[in-house]
């Protein structure tokens, strides 16, 4: 029997922002309208209970995706209002552009660290990559090809690297 979204029992302590707003927002939807996106730890450190988050997802107030898709460490949440979509679309476009692998002069792909360096923070890189994955703009590959422990690797859909990884079923 399907019971809807349940918050994972264990989540990484990763956040997208420093939390100084404990109790400032009365609902998860109000938090998301103000900040557009969050990781699980963002919401928990802002004072929300697991049931608050689960109810917001199950009611359709916010969207959710696991990160990474294989063996998730946390969940990513986002609001679906026009302003949130605009902010996330811009981040996803930038993240996708930064992990393109079309020729030998461009990178093979990117992870949240390498993309984050170019975007100004690892948090922005991670958000951009997750949202780009959810929009079908990048492929998430469970491999640490860069040797920095920051997998997964992201490849722009349709890029040379994406086609190469597809051919070898990686």
Q: What is the pLDDT of residues 138-150, one digit of tens each?
A: 999 988 766 767 7
Residue-wise pLDDT tens digits, 62-72:
999 999 999 89
Could you tell me the two tokens for 94? 């930038």
Instruction: Give tens-digit pLDDT for 91-149.
Output: 999 999 998 766 666 667 889 988 999 999 999 999 999 999 999 999 999 887 667 67
Q: From CA 11, how far away is CA 103, in angstroms rounded?
A: 37
Give the residue among 27, 131, 33, 48 at the shortest CA–CA distance from 79.
33
Q: Which residues contact 162 (CB under 8 A, 6 or more apart)?
A: 101, 139, 155, 156
**Whether 149 contacts 112, CB under 8 Å:** no
Whether the pLDDT of residue 55 is over 50: the answer is yes
Q: Are strands 74-79 and 62-67 parallel, antiparallel or unpaired?
A: antiparallel
Q: What is the mean pLDDT of residues 62-85?
A: 95
pLDDT of residue 108: 79
What are 38-53's pLDDT values in tens digits?
A: 999 999 999 999 999 9
- 3-state DSSP percent of the chain in helix, strand and coil, to 5: 40, 15, 45
d(CA 105, CA 20): 42
Number of helices followed by number of strands (H, E) in the chain: 7, 5
Enumerate long-range contacts of 62-66, CB under 8 Å, 24 or more apart: 62/28, 62/29, 62/32, 64/5, 65/130, 65/133, 65/134
pTM of the model: 0.90
Q: Cα separation of 91 and 112, whole Å? A: 12
């Amino acid at each position: 029997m399907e019971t809807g979204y349940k918050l994972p029992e264990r989540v990484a302590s990763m956040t997208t922002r420093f939390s100084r707003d404990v109790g400032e927002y009365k609902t998860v939807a109000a938090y998301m309208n103000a900040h557009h996106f969050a990781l699980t730890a963002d919401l928990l450190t802002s004072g929300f209970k697991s049931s608050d988050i689960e109810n917001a997802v199950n009611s359709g107030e916010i969207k959710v995706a696991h990160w990474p898709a294989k063996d998730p460490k946390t969940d990513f949440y986002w609001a679906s209002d026009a302003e949130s979509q605009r902010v996330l679309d811009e981040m996803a476009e930038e993240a996708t552009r930064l992990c393109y692998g079309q020729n030998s002069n461009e990178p093979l792909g990117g992870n949240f660290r390498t993309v984050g360096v170019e975007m100004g923070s690892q948090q922005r890189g991670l958000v951009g990559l997750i949202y780009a994955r959810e929009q079908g703009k990048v492929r998430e590959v469970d491999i640490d090809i860069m040797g920095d422990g920051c997998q997964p690797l992201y490849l722009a859909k349709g890029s040379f690297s994406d086609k190469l990884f597809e051919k070898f079923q990686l």
